[in-house]
Amino acid sequence: MNDNTFLREKAYTIIQTKILEGDLRAGALVSELALAQEIGMSRTPVREAIGQLEREGLFNKVPRVGTIVRLPGHQELKDLYEVRAALESCAASIAADSLSASELSAMQDLVDEVNEIARELRGRGSDALDESLLRGFLNADIAFHQQIIQASGNVRIQEIVSEFRTIQRVFEYGRMLHSIRIIESAAAQHAEILEALRKREAETARLAMFAHIRAAQQSALASFDESFQPLTDQITADDSN
C-alpha cells in the first residue's frame, strides 16, 4: 500500500466514523477543507475519500449548496431493512453453531446495557433519549448485530451489512421517535435471539432475527415522514431549481 492509498483509507475511515457516531448528520454540509484541517492531512486524500463515500451513497452533491450527508429516501430505507432481514437472519442461523461462551456473555452484556438505558429513562420520567443515551443505545445495538455477523464467518454479509448500517445510521440519528417502548422492545427481541443462540437452535435464531429487523423496519418507516420528509422535500426542491 502506497502513502496516497494509506492516507485516503485513513481519511475514509475517519469520515465514516463521524457518520456512525452522529458527528455528521443528515443534511450536514461536508467541508473538504475543514475535514482536512481537522484530520491533519492535505485535501487530496480527503477529496478522494469524500468521492468514495459519495459513490457509496452516503454523500450527495447539491447545486449551489455543496456536498451534504445524503438523506435516505423512504423506499431506500425500506429496501435496506429488507436486505438486512434476509442477510442477518441467515447469519444468525450460521452463528448458532459457532458462538463461544465468551461471545454469548458479551452479547448478554449488550442486552443488559440497553435495558439499563430504558430503566434510566423511566427513572427520569422521560420518554426522550438525550444525546448520550442515544449514542449508547445505537452503539450497543450495532455491536450486538456485529457479533452475530462476525461469528457467521461470512465476509460478504459483513461487508454488505456494514455499508447498509452506515446509511441507516444517518437516519437513526435524525429520527424523532426513539421512545422507551422502542428501546425495551429492542432489548426483548435481542434477548429472544440470544436465547435461541445459546440453545444452538439455528432456525429459531433465524426467525427471531428476521422478525426483529422487520419490526425495526416498521418503526423506522413510521417515523420517516415526520423526521425526514420536510428536509427531503427541501433538498429535492433545491436540486431542481
pLDDT digits (tens, 9 = 90+) for 92-109: 999 999 999 999 999 999
Residue 69 backbone dihedrals phi, psi, to 5 degrees: -70, 120
| Residue whose grid cell is 457516531 | 21
Kindly report, as residue ranges, where domains of CATH 1.10.10.10 are found in the chain.
Answer: 3-70
Q: Are 92 and 148 in contact (CB under 8 A)?
A: yes
Return the CATH number of 3-70, one of 3.30.450.20, 3.40.250.10, 1.20.1250.20, 1.10.10.10.
1.10.10.10
Average pLDDT score over residue span 183-210: 97
Range from 34-48, 69-83, 163-177 carrying the lowest mean pLDDT: 163-177
Q: What is the pLDDT of residues 18-66, one digit of tens each?
A: 887 778 888 889 999 999 999 999 999 999 999 999 998 889 888 888 8
Torsion-angle region of 125 (φ positive above 0: left; ψ -120 to 50: alpha; else: beta)? left
pLDDT score of 179 more than 80? no
Kindly report, as residue ranges, where domains of CATH 1.20.120.530 are found in the chain.
Answer: 74-226
Please count the CA atoms within 13 angstroms of the CA of 81 that sit on its side-chain side.
Answer: 21
CATH 1.20.120.530 is held by the domain 74-226: yes
Average pLDDT score over residue span 116-134: 83
User: Residue 223's pLDDT band (boundaries 50, 70, 90)?
Assistant: confident
* Residue 1 confidence (pLDDT): 57
User: Residue 227's pLDDT band (boundaries 50, 70, 90)?
Assistant: low
